[in-house]
Amino acid sequence: MAANYWESTQRRHWQFTRQQLEDLRKKLEDEDQNLVQMYPLPQVRHLSIYFNQQIARLGKRLGVRQQAMATAQLYIRRFYSKVEIRRTNPYLVIATAVYLACKMEECPHHIRLVVSEGRTLWPDFFSSDTSKLGECEFFLISEMSSQMIVHHPYRSLTSLQGTFSLTQEESALAWSIINDHYMTDLPLLFAPHIIALMAILLALVLRPNTTGIQSAGGNAGTIASAAQTALSSAGQFKPTGEKQGATPRTKVQKLANWLAESNIDIEAIVDCTQEIISFYEVQEQYNEKLTREQINRFVKARGLDK
C-alpha cells in the first residue's frame, strides 16, 4: 500500500528477478525480430543514460523536482519492460512519463506546457499536438495497470542518515548514487531500502572528499572489493567495544554491525553494489551521439514522430 512497501503494487507486480526481467525483454525482441534487426540499439544501460539526460533537460525547463524525475524514470523502465521501444517514440514517452509523474508527485504541469517544452527540446521528433501526449498517457497508464504509486530509496536514506551519522557530503553522495541507480535495472530488482543501504555503503567507501563518483569507474574493482570486505565483515564481527570515532572506517564498521543485527538481505546489498559499480564502468563507454542517432533513426524511419 501507499505507506507500506511490502503490501505495495511495486513489490507485488514490479519487482523482478534478473531472469524474469531478461525473459520479458527477450519476449519483446522475439515478437519483433525484424524491427530489432533493422534498427540496432545500444545496450539498455546506455539507452537509460540517454533517457536520463533527456528527462533532466525537460525537468530543468519545467522546474521539476528530483523525486518526480525519479518517478518518471521508473515509469519509463516499467513501460519498456512491456513494450518494444522501436514501436514507440521515446521522446513522447519521456515527456508523457514526466507529465504523469508530476501529477502523481503533486507538482503538476499543464499538458500544453509540457508539449511546448518537448517541442523546444526535440523539434524534429515531437508533435505540437497535445492529444498525442494525452494518448501516450493512456498507453503508459494502461501498461502499468494504473499502478503509479512508487516507493523511492530517498525516504530510507533520509531516515537512516542519523543512524549512521552521515555527514552532509556523505549524504549528498549517497543521494546522487540513488539518482544514478535509476539508470540501471536496480529499481526493478530490489526493494528501496536495499538500494538506500547500498548507496550509504558506497558513499562511505568512496569517501566523498577524496574520491568522486566520476573517478569511480577507474578503480571500480578496488571499490567493489572495499565494499565487499566491509559487508563480509558484517557476518563475522561483533561490536568491538565502544570506539565512537567519526571516520568513515568506523562508520562502515557500524553499518556492517547494524546489518549483521538486522534481518536485511546482505547478499542483495552485495549484488546491488556490484550492479551499480558495473554501471559506472559501462558509463565510461557511453557514446551520446551514437545513442541519439540510433534512436532518432528508427523514430524517423518509422514515422513515429508524427
At position 263, the amino acid (one-letter code) is N
At position 120, the amino acid (one-letter code) is T
d(CA 213, CA 66): 18
Of the candidate spans 108-116, 197-205, 217-225, 242-250, the one that interacts with other proteins by CB under 8 A turns out to be 108-116
Residue 33 engages other proteins in binding (rule: CB under 8 A): no
Q: Give the one residue of 69, 85, 100, 195 binding other proteins; rule: CB under 8 A.
A: 100
For residue 143, the minimal CB distance to other proteins (Å) is 10
Span 138-157, contacts to other proteins by CB under 8 A: 138-139, 141-142, 145-149, 155
CA dihedral 261, 264, 267, 272 (to 10 degrees): -130
DSSP symbols for 154-182? HHHHHHHTTTTT--HHHHHHHHHHHHHHT
Of the candidate spans 116-124, 135-143, 208-216, 220-228, the one that interacts with other proteins by CB under 8 A turns out to be 135-143
Residue 11 engages other proteins in binding (rule: CB under 8 A): no
For residue 173, the minimal CB distance to other proteins (Å) is 23
* Nearer to other proteins (CB atom), residue 148 or residue 255: 148
Q: Give the one residue of 69, 80, 98, 105 binding other proteins; rule: CB under 8 A.
A: 105
Question: What would the x/- binding string for other proteins be over residues 79 to 98, using CB under 8 A?
Answer: --------x-----------
Residue 40 engages other proteins in binding (rule: CB under 8 A): no
Q: How many CB atoms lie within 10 A of CB 151?
A: 22
DSSP 8-state secondary structure symbol assigned to residue 264: -
Sole residue written with cell 546506455:
46
SS3 192: helix
For residue 89, the minimal CB distance to other proteins (Å) is 8
* Nearer to other proteins (CB atom), residue 19 or residue 146: 146
Q: How many CB atoms lie within 10 A of CB 306?
A: 9
Residue 56 engages other proteins in binding (rule: CB under 8 A): no
The CA–CA distances, whole Å, from 156 to 63, 191, 192, 193 equal 24, 11, 7, 6
**Contact (CB, 8 A) for 99 and 137:** yes
Q: How many CA atoms are closer than 13 Å to the CA of 157, on its beta-carbon side? A: 25
* Nearer to other proteins (CB atom), residue 61 or residue 302: 302
217: its cell numbers: 569507474
**Contact (CB, 8 A) for 218 and 178:** no
Span 243-302, contacts to other proteins by CB under 8 A: 302
Of the candidate spans 19-27, 55-63, 125-133, 263-271, the one that interacts with other proteins by CB under 8 A turns out to be 125-133
First to last CA, the chain: 39
For residue 146, the minimal CB distance to other proteins (Å) is 5
* Nearer to other proteins (CB atom), residue 139 or residue 258: 139
For residue 283, the minimal CB distance to other proteins (Å) is 29
Q: Give the one residue of 19, 63, 106, 210 binding other proteins; rule: CB under 8 A.
A: 106
**Contact (CB, 8 A) for 271 and 185:** no
Residues that bind other proteins (CB under 8 A): 1-4, 7-9, 35, 65, 67-68, 87, 99-100, 103-108, 110-111, 130-139, 141-142, 145-149, 155, 302-304, 306
